[in-house]
Structure 1
């Protein structure tokens, strides 16, 4: 991380993303009426909300033909991002293909470099440390997982088992 960055390091990894967890950060799942199609470069990307922050699903952000230029353009317009539906990196998932994880790596690189606050929301464990167990994803290279883990290390973590006693300090 570049010295002086503060936006990216204010981000959080949240599992499973309950209303109470999200509400502690002032985040509320967008309604269907907030959905929009943005065209950062040459093709449209469906987002769940694009007001004060960009709220987008992992599948929409990383599962299609998006590029680094798309992420850079969107980062210029939104200083806070919420990416929900992030699959567990160490489990099989149709939306977590090798190409999707490469795009995700590109997203994280852009957001880190441009100091964009990032909230990641997923149902399962969001741990990018390369696993040594049999369920380890064979289609994601360990170096990719290590790179993602390194980039995301400044982000806080909130998990279902974590107490909410200090919830008022999470968003600060």
Structure 2
């Protein structure tokens, strides 16, 4: 079971890093990537909170190294995947994983970025545009992942993995 989760986590990291370079919502120093949120919801369902957290952390580091992410990826993605996992495991409903991602990244993660911006010397970073970018990005990713998960569920593929 652990080998399956490790393998899926590695695949999710690879997909995240590659696909996040294609679709990015830039807002000043922030590079919001809907793919990160899509992957977070998939991780919440397939591998759970701890492997999902590892995926978010490693993906954020790699995206920063490759220039497709920023320091702001850490609080958003990590809180998002934890809340998505928590909501999913509490209700066992795919939609709740998507809702957890939007609340975790879009609202809580964007608020957590404000102190990070101050630390980085970006004191003029406005919370409303930041939160808007995070909410829009997380909603796009969450909706796409929910559609993917529903297709997998209808085809009977999902129950083999969860």
**Relative contact order (C-alpha < 8 Å, sep 6+): which is higher?**
1
Confirm or deny a common fold (TM above 0.5). Answer: no
Q: TM (normalized to structure 1)?
A: 0.28
Q: TM (normalized to structure 2)?
A: 0.30
Q: Greater share of helix residues, 1 or 2?
A: 2
